[in-house]
Amino acid sequence: MSKFHQGRFHPRNPEKYIGDPNNIIYRSSWELHFLQWCDRTENVIKYASEEFSIKYVSPLDNRVHRYYPDGYIIYKDKNGVEKKCIIEIKPYRQTQEPKVPERQTKTYINEMKTYLLNQAKWKYASEFCKDNGVEFRILTENELGIKPYGRPRTRKVSKKKNK
């Protein structure tokens, strides 16, 4: 069983979807949240999820790979101007370079690999967008208005009076 929320998204407005609206896959609850927002937001004219790829060179193996952005939207901004944007959805912590620990751990090595791969993908995506007149945005829990993964919950502790 996967530890992340995954499944198929069934839009209420399938005519807005670019691609097959019967085959929309989401790989996290955050992607589902984004798809729901696209489907119900009036200013979003069209949207897609992982419908195309951008080639990039991985810094880990120096080979060409394909990057499938999480989303693509055509929308009207607050001035009514139509814009196009490629969207990537990631936890904020994956957008920041990991802090070097006192000793190299597997967790640190994995976090650094993830960070380096993301940076490479986003560099190529930014270049692709610049060449094609498209915006590129990375959405984190901050922009999505979602509580981040791994943050400990705080509980109120009631103080009993001594009698």
Query: β-strand 82-89 against 135-139: which pairing, if any?
Result: parallel
Q: Where are the domains of the chain?
A: 7-144
Residue 146 confidence (pLDDT): 86
Q: pLDDT tens digit string along 33-51?
A: 999 999 999 999 999 999 9
What percentage of the chain exceeds 70 in pLDDT?
Answer: 88
* Alpha helices per DSSP H over the chain: 29-40, 106-132, 141-144
**Minimum mean pLDDT range among 1-5, 38-42, 44-48, 151-155:** 151-155
The residue among 144, 118, 143, 142 whose CA lies nearest residue 56 is 118
Catalytic positions, written as ranges: 31, 70, 90
Right CATH number for 7-144 from 1.10.1760, 3.30.70, 3.40.1350, 1.10.3470? 3.40.1350
